[in-house]
Amino acid sequence: MLKWRNSRPLPAGRRTTLKNMYYIYAISSKSRKYIYVGITNNINRRFNQHQDVRERTTAPYRPFELILKEVKMTRPEAREREKYLKSGAGKEWLKKK
């Protein structure tokens, strides 16, 4: 018979569920030379918002393809990664990928 180890619950600030996860994403325009980087907690909803012209900043560059999706457990971690990807070095890395 298989026995499970007793596991202690994580403190309230360290609990992780799908709702608490953050996605760093990059989308690339299929028609023009344009890459957009952002953070969201719902990648499908956010991608559809970009595709459906609900975002003024990205509307002229439609249609898009998702070129990067990364998961982070906290918003500060996600924000740090987003800042890097928006930098010159980060954009170069995305273009090579």
Q: How many domains does the chain have?
A: 1
Domain with 65 in it: what CATH number? 3.40.1440.10
> Which is nearest to 26 in space by CA: 55, 11, 53, 47?
47
Gap between the Cα atoms of 66 and 55, Å rounded: 16
Range of the domain at 49: 20-96
pLDDT digits (tens), the chain, 97 positions: 444 444 455 455 555 455 689 999 999 999 999 999 999 999 999 999 999 988 888 999 999 999 999 999 999 999 999 999 999 999 999 998 7
